[in-house]
Structure 1
Amino acid sequence: DVDIKTRFNSKPAALVQANRTSQEDVIEIATTVREYVKVQKEKMPDGINLDIWLDISVMVQDRIDLLLRNGIQGITLVFIILALFLNLRLAFWVAIGIPISFMAAFMVLDSLDATINMISLFAFIMTLGILVDDAIIVGENIFRHHSKGKPPSVAVIDGLKEVGGPVVMAVTTTVVAFTPLMFISGIMGKFIAVMPLAVIAILTVSLGEALIILPAHLNQALTRSASDKSRFTAWHEHLRQKVEQGLNYVIEKYYSSAIEYVVKNRYFTLSIGLGILIISLGIVKGGYVPFVFMPKGESDWVIAEVGYPLGTPYSVTEKTIEHLEKKAFELNSVFSKMSKKNGSLVVNAFSLVGIIPRRDWKPPQLGGHVGEVWIELTNSERRPSLSVNTILKKWRSLVGEIPGTDTLAFSTLEGGPAGNPIEIQLAGRDFKQLRLAANELKAEIKTYPGTLDIADNFKPGKEEKKVRVKQGARPLDITMGDIARQLRQAFYGEEALRIQRGRDDIKVMVRYAEKDRESLSGIEEIRIRTADGMEIPIEEVAAITDGVAYAVINRVNRKRIITVNSDIDEATANASKIVSELNAGFLPKLVERHPGLKYDLEGQEKRTRESMESLQKGFILAIMIIFLLLASQFRSYIQPVIIMMAIPFGLIGAIFGHLVMGMQLTMISLFGIVALSGIVVNDSLILIDFINRATKNGMAVETAVVESGKIRFRPVMLTSVTTIAGLFPLLLERSFQAQFLIPMAISISFGLLFATLLTLLYVPALYLIIGDIQKLFSARFQKAESQS
């Protein structure tokens, strides 16, 4: 049996856990528990107190509040932007597609047994601006036709006919781009699976609303607007006209000059774009925007785990845990300025001696040689200038070195799937070889600045006596089984009889006297009884040696393994870079020095590899499907290439966005880039469609490019600005709950911002360059035919 002691704020405590099933609401359960504690607290006797610890529902509620707050702000910004550029009634009916699409998506998610959580709510925020893109394109085109003097019904029909097909194609490409995220393998795939599901449901419903419901409302809205003479309507119309005059001035004064310059210098424009793309890729390759699987964000909980060698007295571990608690509360004095302003930095401390429960990917540890301390910090929003990493480093320095420990690790409680930043699994059949290789690997990792808490999972056990039968025991008919049985009888005992006392059976055990069992020397004095009744000293028939047992033996594919792991300080080290260097140089040499040794990269590296492989396959498939859809729309294999050139240039915006915001590229950033590939082609698709229509009507190609660019300037800007506006509040969020989601918002918003400039200037240049190439080949082909 193992003693387990719990302490809360340095006082003995008993812990009662309230867990939930997958079908229950964590917030509802937590509310019930809090009400129970509030009532029962008053009934407790003196000296006993009830308190709540590690209420995860607070984190969940904070995330929901964060996303709802940002969602409301995003919807408001989207509507204001629409109202500035469009008729007020038209803007209202375009914006009303947001709640309609959201309600339908909630119904779809409910039917699929999906939950409303941080990821699904982020999907709703991400689509705030995207889902109105189709409605904006339809509504703006109808408004443009109505502005030419057409009656509302005619304007609706003509406007919808003109953009209906491209709108369907634009939404379809976006849906296709999000589809690969549904098939990401590994734990990350399970973590974000609900996001693409929600986005696809929202976009599908919004498309139906834009093509079926919206035109009918716009017909009525435009009809009523003509007869509406209210002062507010007049004021809004005056404001809208001012905005439109300003927009027209920008188009005529600046955009016209820019696109005319691009048309005349299209090859120079192409070279500038390629140069910027190469520079952005160089920024990533050079490490200016490093990649991490899942960055360490802010947290309100810090954890210290301590482990001694197996067999260490319980009192030693308990004393160390008390030392950790004491130093934790000293943080309030160290950061006294913050504590005076916002209350105590360390709100609560909870400790366990005798067990380290399972957490995330780590198995539980049990025994008097292990323990852990959790400290709850004041909310991160109340300490904006004091990061959790600063607090963790200070706690680590206050604790100092603790002699005799096997492990002393400090970490934070974070959301999201992660793993050890550096985790390398060594496999082989010889434990001595494995231990030697593990020590060499730990020494090598220690040479990298910023590596912390380097350890392995090999745990030596207690000291032991190893007994093996000698060859000379065979003539005496003594086997290893006889020796083992008699040793057990001597020290543990043998049941001689049972005595009935009431309902209980009392075992009577026969064994050596206590004084003979207290010391190890008693083993050497044992005499082994033979089959004929002789007693022989154990040393005559068995070899007794000293040794150390294994506390645990880990195996993978029947081979013994030792896993070496390390944490890092992300301010000075990059886990991906360190693992890559180890894999390229040190690890192959380690295998050469230790024949039979094998290694695998685990932790964040493994999760990155799993996700990246499936993401690459899905992305390539999505690109192929998008290309085929565009080829069928334009009946050309060349024009889809022009449109899809927006995808790599969207990457430029995403990279520069992370650089400007001081954020690292993460796995979530890459998901945003994949989703961006479907969004950025939409405006290019419709611009190319307008250019094609103009050239079919007899307009010169260069003139068609310039005029189509002018016509599409407003809807392109509107669709881009509304999408960015929907995400803008999240980009400015500083709470630790938002840190996980911000990289994806950066990828989409900054990528879309750059892709908008690309659509308005770079796509026209590409269109003309492709036309030049086609003319060149056509002229050569005709010349060859005439000569033949």
Structure 2
Amino acid sequence: FLVSFFFLVLFVSSIFVAKSMRFELFPGDDVRLVFLQIKGEVGTPLEESDVAIAKLEKMILSSLKPEELDQIRSKIGKFMDERSSKIGNHYGSIMIYLTPPDERERTTDEIINDLVKSSKPLVPKYEITVLKRQGGPPKGKAVEIELTGDSLDDLKLLSKKVQKILNETKGVVTSEIDFEEGKKQIIAKVDNSEARRLGVSTDLIAMELRKAFSGDSVTEIRESDEDIPIRVYLDKESRGSVKTLDKLFVLSPRGNRIRLNKVVKFVERPGAFVIRRKDRKRIISISASLDKKLATPNSITKALDPKLKELLDDYPSIAYNFGGENEDTKESMGALVKAGIISFICIFFVLVVMFNSIGQSLVIMSVIPMGLIGVILAFKIKGAVLSFMALLGVIALIGVVVNDSIVLVNFINKKREDLGNDMQAVIEACMGRFRPVILTSVTTVAGLLPVAHAGLFGGSVGDPFVKPMAFAFAYGLAFATVITLIFVPVNYLIYLKVLSFFRNLFSRKTDIEDDMDGGVLESEV
């Protein structure tokens, strides 16, 4: 019981250690394509964006060493997103192709940090953003905060406050607000009470404005077989002047000419370049790129959550949500947990059918969580980041660990039949199966270690997606093998004691019932 309790405490402790470790959905060590992008005010001429990109190109070529840079490509008027791209004269993108990580001294994040610091003074009128493209399945932005509400003014004000908090957070390289103010527009606000008093409706006001700026067909002339409409509207100079609005009149149903400025107040303000909605509410997203050595999406989310709750206390109509990689992580982990539960249930039913015993099936499966201890300890000692691929390695580890336990429990059952002594049967079964179990695990671990430690002694650094999976599989199996030879026999003996206890308990109850039945018969006689 003490041995089983010790391993249980060790497993619980490893879970707490895992919670304090950094987690990343997919490893980013293989990033070789980086987008350094600019975003100016809407309406910025394409020529200005071209000049800004040219300055950044010279800076990149002079800053990066020959062993770091492969090539660069520039696109004026285009802004790349995680899954799409945007077009506009105020956009610009530079695609930076880096050399493989094993051929340069600096990491991708170190290079990006230097480029961003050098870029901001060169193009102060533009907003600098960074997008890293890496292998593997597509995922959202490293950090993305979605603000939803009905008031666009509140959303704009709050998004700037959130961006400020984000920029002050350690590990954030660049940040971006996806809302862009468009060209200036004039809003016509109708004084409804005054309009009703003068007998002017909103429709009449709208029609008068449309006639003045878009034109209205007053008649047609016929030329050959074609009818040509005659449209009347203001000239180009008048249409471009705000003062023209004060000179317009609207004709009331009574035939009175009423100045528009008596019933309408004209307000000038910037418009929206793009309006996004989610669940019928306006949405503004604030995103950021990270230095993965200093912060992860999960750590940034934990740090920002209490600050955002405090900030939104003054804005009850606005809600927030963490999207991007954080949302992708939740979806992926949810799917992984479901798959794990289904696999556990399937393994359990197969074992029950094989051994015709629920207790022995539980003994075999008890070693599965123990393999996680070796994985967590190995990643903690190495200082590596836990990832989705590492957890896939743990799922693959289950099958091998269960196989070793099946072999051991099956051999213990045979020895019990031959010897009739439970303790001696367990000891001899462990001694007899020690070499096969060890050899099976050693050969598997030996085949995985070169993949898990690729690049340790020079050469290629290996695939960053396969390495975490191989690392988790190898060290999880190495630890689980030792656990199997200790933990499974101990649990098997506990299972036998519990089984014996309940057998004795039920046999006593049966004897007592028989004695009571006998006493009743004697009294009747």
**Both proteins in one fold, TM over 0.5:** yes
User: 1:688, CA displacement in angstroms?
Assistant: 0.6
CA distance in 2, matches of 1:662, 1:500: 84
Partner of 1:576: 298
Match of 1:400, SS state, is: helix
Partner of 1:433: 154
Higher strand share: 2
Partner of 1:600: 321
For 2:40, give the aligned amino acid: Y
Deviations 1:188-237 (A, max 9, x none): xxxxxxxxxxxxxxxxxxxxxxxxxxxxxxxxxxxxxxxxxxxxxxxxxx
For 2:317, give the aligned amino acid: G
Give the aligned CA root-mean-square deviation in angstroms: 3.1
Q: Map 1:585-664; keep pairs closer than 5 Å.
A: 585-664=306-385
CA distance in 2, matches of 1:783, 1:540: 102
Q: Map 1:321-360; keep pairs closer than 5 Å.
A: 321-332=53-64, 335=65, 339=66, 342=67, 345-357=68-80, 359-360=81-82
Partner of 1:389: 109
Partner of 2:25: 293
Partner of 1:283: 17
Q: Map 1:444-523; keep pairs closer than 5 Å.
A: 444-471=165-192, 472-473=194-195, 478-493=200-215, 511-523=233-245
Deviations 1:373-416 (A, max 9, x none): 11112333432x332112111211221344333x4211221122
Match of 2:419, SS state, is: coil
Contact 2:298 2:326 in 1 (8 A): yes
Would the alpha carbon gap of residues 520 and 564 (structure 1) be closer, same or farther in structure 2, given more than 3 Å must change? same
Contact 1:309 1:460 in 2 (8 A): yes
Would the alpha carbon gap of residues 424 and 486 (structure 1) be closer, same or farther in structure 2, given more than 3 Å must change? same
Partner of 1:181: none
Higher helix share: 1
Partner of 1:716: 437
User: Residue 8 of structure 2: which of 274, 290, 294 is its match?
Assistant: 274
Would the alpha carbon gap of residues 459 and 505 (structure 1) be closer, same or farther in structure 2, given more than 3 Å must change? farther
Deviations 1:291-329 (A, max 9, x none): 222232222211112212222333332222222212111
Would the alpha carbon gap of residues 665 and 500 (structure 1) be closer, same or farther in structure 2, given more than 3 Å must change? farther
User: 1:648, CA displacement in angstroms?
Assistant: 0.9
User: 1:458, CA displacement in angstroms?
Assistant: 2.0
User: 1:761, CA displacement in angstroms?
Assistant: 2.6
Would the alpha carbon gap of residues 486 and 603 (structure 1) be closer, same or farther in structure 2, given more than 3 Å must change? same
Deviations 1:104-151 (A, max 9, x none): xxxxxxxxxxxxxxxxxxxxxxxxxxxxxxxxxxxxxxxxxxxxxxxx
Deviations 1:648-706 (A, max 9, x none): 11101111222244321112222222232232111111111011011111253233223
Partner of 1:411: 131
Where in structure 1 are there 5+ consecutive unaligned residues? 1-266
1:524 correspondence with 2:246: yes
Contact 2:116 2:128 in 1 (8 A): no
CA distance in 1, matches of 2:38, 2:223: 47
Contact 2:25 2:387 in 1 (8 A): yes
User: 1:473, CA displacement in angstroms?
Assistant: 5.0
Where in structure 2 are there 5+ consecutive unaligned residues? 516-525
- Using structure 1 for the length normalisation, give the TM-score: 0.59
- Using structure 2 for the length normalisation, give the TM-score: 0.86
CA distance in 2, matches of 1:620, 1:609: 16
Would the alpha carbon gap of residues 370 and 715 (structure 1) be closer, same or farther in structure 2, given more than 3 Å must change? same
Contact 1:331 1:346 in 2 (8 A): no
Match of 1:711, SS state, is: helix
Contact 1:673 1:747 in 2 (8 A): yes
Match of 1:680, SS state, is: helix
Which moves more between the two structures, 446-455 or 407-416? 446-455
Match of 2:24, SS state, is: coil
CA distance in 2, matches of 1:270, 1:741: 34
Contact 1:298 1:736 in 2 (8 A): no
User: Residue 554 of structure 1: which of 263, 276, 284 is its match?
Assistant: 276
Report 1 or 2 for greater relative contact order, CA contacts < 8 Å, sequence distance ≥ 6.
Answer: 1
Partner of 1:681: 402
CA distance in 1, matches of 2:312, 2:170: 24
Would the alpha carbon gap of residues 543 and 674 (structure 1) be closer, same or farther in structure 2, given more than 3 Å must change? same
Give me the identity figure in percent. 30
Q: Map 1:61-460; keep pairs closer than 5 Å.
A: 267-285=1-19, 287=20, 289-332=21-64, 335=65, 339=66, 342=67, 345-357=68-80, 359-361=81-83, 363-383=84-104, 385-401=105-121, 402-405=123-126, 407-416=127-136, 417-460=138-181
1:750 correspondence with 2:442: no
User: 1:278, CA displacement in angstroms?
Assistant: 3.2
User: 1:481, CA displacement in angstroms?
Assistant: 4.1
CA distance in 2, matches of 1:641, 1:367: 62
Contact 1:303 1:412 in 2 (8 A): yes
Contact 1:328 1:346 in 2 (8 A): no
